[in-house]
Chain A
Amino acid sequence: MGVMSAVAPAERYRAISPAEFFYKYREIAGFSNPARALYQAVREFVENALDATDSHGILPNIKIIIEKADENREFYRVTVEDNGIGLPPHVVPEAFGRVLFSSKYILRQTRGMFGLGAKVAILYGQMTTGRPVEVITSQPNLRRIYYFKLRIDINKNEPIIIERGSWRKNRDWHGTIVSMTLEGDWSRAKQRIKDYILRTAVVTPYANIVFITPDGEIYYYERVIDKLPRPPKEVKPHPYGVDLELMKRIRDGGSFSTVKEMLMKSFQGIGKVTASSLLEIAGISPDLSPKSLSDRQLLELVNAMKNYKRFRAPTSEALSPLGEEVIKAGLKRIYEPEFVEAVTRKPSAYQGHPFIVEVGIAFGGKVPLSSDKYPTLLRYANKIPLLYDEGSDVSTAVIKEDISWDQYLVKLPAPIIVLVHICSTKIPFKGVGKESIADVKEIRNEIKLAIQEVARRLRLYLSKKLKEEEKKKRVVSLAKYVPEIVRALTIILGDGQGVKAELLEEKLVEIVSLRTGIPKDEVHKVVKSVEIGV
């Protein structure tokens, strides 16, 4: 899909491709059956809600409601509310009614990227229930709240506005509420949806998330940290990631007077000197107008850029890693572990795409027991939890093959979770399912280094804990004999010697405590528990 690498100035909206395709082939977008569709719809709206908040420096308040919408049929109404930046009213119909319309076709790490998600969900709902989507939204600077009831004209790939309205804001609200009805299968989707929300909550400790199920259960994940991940910045493409199509689009889209200017303004890491030498290699005169370049000349230029060895690594400004603090807070919020540590690696790059790997490890507390082969793995790509195809994911390969856990004193099965987050302007997903990440050498290596770093800290903790336990065991193996010793001594030294059993016991407890470093009352506890039988 060429659309993915399109480039445009900030928040510019445009349509790029017809819609019937996704109506027909909705399974590509994850809407293959009622259970899967319900799950996918929740995901799409939750991810849009988070994109509208944390990517813009807003601490998210998100509310998800799924309710039964028909007495007889398996219709479910999905409502997702956020406190994000909202949409300008004139954009709403297209954002929710035109397939391949998005504000995320730029180089910046967001959860959404295709301009598809909301629309395929709405199409699916429309097709299975015939009911329209409702959107309520307002932006921070607007005085009014806007209301739309829409449907999609599948043939024209256009929104049909059924109803619209607006009213004055009487409190300082901004955000978006999307509500739609679709045919679903709650009982089969329920576990997945709960899992998805839980795993989302793990990496969003800065968000309040409320989830109300059709069964009337309420899940509330309360905000535990006020720190947001650094918001992503839009960046220019890196020359290593360029191809002919992108080059053409830049030539046709921009208004540059010379090809040299075009290079300098369209890419990161190209200044005057680099631009000149690239053009020399490509055999193109720097003063030519870009519009006059032939496709063959453009290809020469692309090749020159691809083979040029001296570019700086791609900037990571477009990335928005969670950060160590957020990961730790998130793991703590859900698992209350006895040990938690995290690391955010320095930015790295593969094929011209910057990426950052982050790893968190939680041990003990409420962390569930892992399998006996490897620790429980929580995978994330650009803050989105990956729930399926774990077996073919690069992170799985690393924790299974590259790390020997017993070296870190982890005896499997153990209450251990390893969280791996990969963020990039281009995640190398395996297949269209977007559920597992391909085994890219550079990424695999970074994951390994990150896990090793955190695992080393875990080993330190575990070895300390082991020593502490050893010490306690040692105390028991000494203290259990104290009463017998006291008894024997008082028999031998019995009367007249002034040796009191209580005093001897007290002193022995003191000695044992002093020599082992275990508090006196713990030694006492063991001594008091002793019973001498016959």
Chain B
Amino acid sequence: MAISSVDKHARQRSLEILREKFATIAKRILEGKKPVLIMPKRVLSNTIYDMKKKLLLLGPEMKRRSLLDVNEARKFMQTLLMASIIYEALVNDEYPTIRDLYYRGKHTISYRDISGKIHHENTWDEQRESDAVIRDIEVFLGVLREEMLILSKEKGKVVGNLIIRSGDDVIDLSKMGHGAYAIEPTPDLIEFKDIDAEFVLVVEKDAVFQQLHRYGFWKKYKAILITSAGQPDRATRRFVRRLSEELKLPIYILTDADPYGWYIYSVFKIGSITLSYESERLATPNAKFIGVSMTDIFGEEEAAKNINKLASIFGKEIKEVISKPRKKAYLSEKERRNYIIKAKKKDVERAVELIGYDVADKLIRNPEIKKYIRQKKLGVSGYPWFRTPEWIKEISIFFSKLAKLEIEAMASKGLKFLADTYIPTKIETGDWID
């Protein structure tokens, strides 16, 4: 059977790497050398945006986690503990979830200090801690957790004219009724059998996904409809990537018009900071941001108003992109008044992180927010992949209007409007950010 052999192979390979890596540690110990785990640093400062590949990648910096360093000793122990649990699960043909691993490794270590007092310490307290250790093991071994057959909760869903094989079953994703197929934690074990679709629409919001599904959007427009239900998990990202890479389908991402939505899009497209070591496998460089964009809400004239201020930061070239308004807003003045939401301080902060303090400072007019941002985010330089003319235009409107909008608003204008006007028009006219 194909899958179980894939599975078996993955197990075998992971076990070998585990043994080999830890044998070196044991050898060092037996030679009386300092026990250290050398692995790439998983931090923002060691995350590199590869302009050419348009991917967030792990940089070359390595960290040496030593047992003899008081600040690292606990982490060192946790790493070894986690490795041993994963090892046992692999040997026993199990499929633990990250939560299982958390429970299996959680116990107390009791010891006496110099004065003889007994202390108790948990190997780890929260799952956050053990999850981080799993990520460390992935970079240390250079093996992804999926390859070690570690599962996580399923989050992403998919429907559409797509037939897949998962395990021993063949599943037709167009026959899911009102439900949907949950994207499994090991999407690499899925086999694409047959497809009849022209594009993929990924929706941030589960609720909007359900509405479009019931409306029959994917049937009508020959789409594969996916939701990440918020921040996308690894499985959803990998699944989308495979659709793009293997089936050559265009990918459109639909999120709220707010900094969280923009970030979700960038995670799909170029990867995330915490999982930059996985970008090569998870990111979809072809993914396009289809909306909801600020210009859809306010029209392009609004961006043109900011042109001179922006030119003072980015130079004249920016004028090219922004100066000629091509389209009108999708919302009327009255609708805008009903649907838009005032941006919260947290939203503004987040936007500054994406685009940089200089832009925010130039564009925000509200003195209170301006002062607040100066206190909190002075000097923040923004992510290079957001400092492109298209995004500058988007986010400049956000700063001057201090407003955001949820996709649901577009649906409230009429599900029909969203499904039959907004999305198709945007795709047809190529009105997206790439």
Contact = CB atoms under 8 A, between A and B. Distances in A.
A223 B74 CA distance: 54
Interface string A505-518: 00110111011100
A249 interface: no
Contacts of A217: none
A504 B30 contact: yes
Contacts of B70: 474, 477-478
B114 A472 contact: yes
Contact of A492 (B19, B73, B112, B118): B19
Contacts of B30: 499, 503-504, 507
A488 B114 contact: no
B84 interface: yes
Interface in B16-58: 18-19, 22-23, 25-26, 29-30, 32-35
Contacts of A440: none
Contacts of B18: 492
Contacts of A531: 109-111
A91 to B, nearest CB: 62
Contacts of B109: 480-481, 483-484, 530-533
The 8 closest A-B pairs by CB, nearest first: A488-B84, A529-B112, A488-B80, A481-B77, A480-B111, A491-B84, A533-B108, A530-B111
A487 interface: yes
Contact of B76 (A485, A507, A511): A485
B121 A480 contact: yes
A528 B32 CA distance: 20
Interface of A: 469, 472-474, 476-481, 483-485, 487-489, 491-493, 497, 499, 503-504, 507-508, 510-512, 514-516, 522, 525-526, 529-534
B65 to A, nearest CB: 12
A504 B26 contact: yes
Interface string B255-299: 000000000000000000000000000000000000000000000
Q: Tell me which of A491, A492, A503 has the highest count of chain B C-beta atoms within 10 A of its own C-beta.
A: A492
Contacts of A499: 26, 30
A529 B26 contact: no
B197 interface: no
A533 B80 contact: no
Contact of B88 (A489, A491, A533): A491
Contacts of A526: 111-113
A522 B112 CA distance: 11
Contacts of B23: 493, 497
24 contacts: A476-B114, A477-B70, A477-B73, A480-B111, A481-B74, A481-B109, A484-B77, A484-B80, A489-B29, A489-B80, A492-B87, A503-B30, A504-B26, A507-B30, A508-B35, A510-B32, A511-B34, A512-B67, A515-B68, A516-B68, A525-B112, A529-B111, A530-B111, A531-B110
B310 interface: no
Contact of B68 (A478, A492, A493): A478
Given A485-B76, A515-B68, 15 more contacts: A472-B114, A478-B73, A481-B77, A484-B80, A488-B80, A489-B25, A489-B84, A491-B84, A492-B18, A492-B19, A492-B83, A492-B84, A493-B22, A511-B32, A511-B34
Nearest to B30: A507
Nearest to A505: B29
A160 B391 CA distance: 117
Contacts of A525: 112
B78 to A, nearest CB: 9
How many interface residues does chain B have, given as a range? 35 or more
Contacts of A480: 109, 111, 121
B81 interface: yes
The secondary structure that dominates the A interface is helix
Contacts of A491: 84, 87-88
Q: Which of B32, B33, B109 has the most CB of A within 10 A?
A: B109
Contact of A511 (B29, B83, B107, B108): B29
Contacts of B76: 481, 485
B228 interface: no
B73 A481 contact: yes
B346 to A, nearest CB: 38
A515 B33 CA distance: 10
Contacts of B80: 484-485, 488-489
B148 to A, nearest CB: 13
Given A488-B84, A491-B88, A507 B29 contact: yes
A485 B107 contact: no
Contacts of A532: 107-109
Given A491-B88, A493-B26, A511-B29, A485 B77 contact: yes
A281 B121 CA distance: 86
A488 B88 CA distance: 10
A481 B123 CA distance: 10
Contact of A489 (B22, B74, B112, B114): B22
B107 A488 contact: no
Nearest to B27: A499
B87 A533 contact: no
B113 A533 contact: no
B123 to A, nearest CB: 7
A519 to B, nearest CB: 12
Nearest to B15: A492
Contacts of A529: 111-112, 118
A480 B110 CA distance: 8
Nearest to A481: B77
Contacts of B113: 473, 476, 526
A515 B18 CA distance: 28
A492 B76 CA distance: 15
Contacts of B108: 532-533
A512 B68 contact: yes
Nearest to B74: A481
Nearest to A472: B114
Contacts of A492: 18-19, 22, 83-84, 87
A189 to B, nearest CB: 42
A503 B81 CA distance: 19
Contact of B29 (A474, A479, A504, A515): A504
A530 B121 CA distance: 11
B74 to A, nearest CB: 7
B73 to A, nearest CB: 5
Contacts of A474: 70
Most chain B CB neighbours (cut-off 10 Å) among A487, A503, A531 = A531
Contacts of A483: 109
Given A481-B73, A515-B34, A533 B107 contact: yes
Interface string B91-112: 0000000000000000111111
Contacts of A510: 32
Contacts of A493: 19, 22-23, 26
Contact of B81 (A473, A477, A488, A512): A488
Contacts of A530: 109-111
A370 B34 CA distance: 45
B118 to A, nearest CB: 8
Contacts of A488: 80-81, 83-84
Nearest to A470: B70
Contacts of A497: 19, 23, 26
Contacts of A481: 67, 73-74, 76-77, 109
Nearest to A491: B84
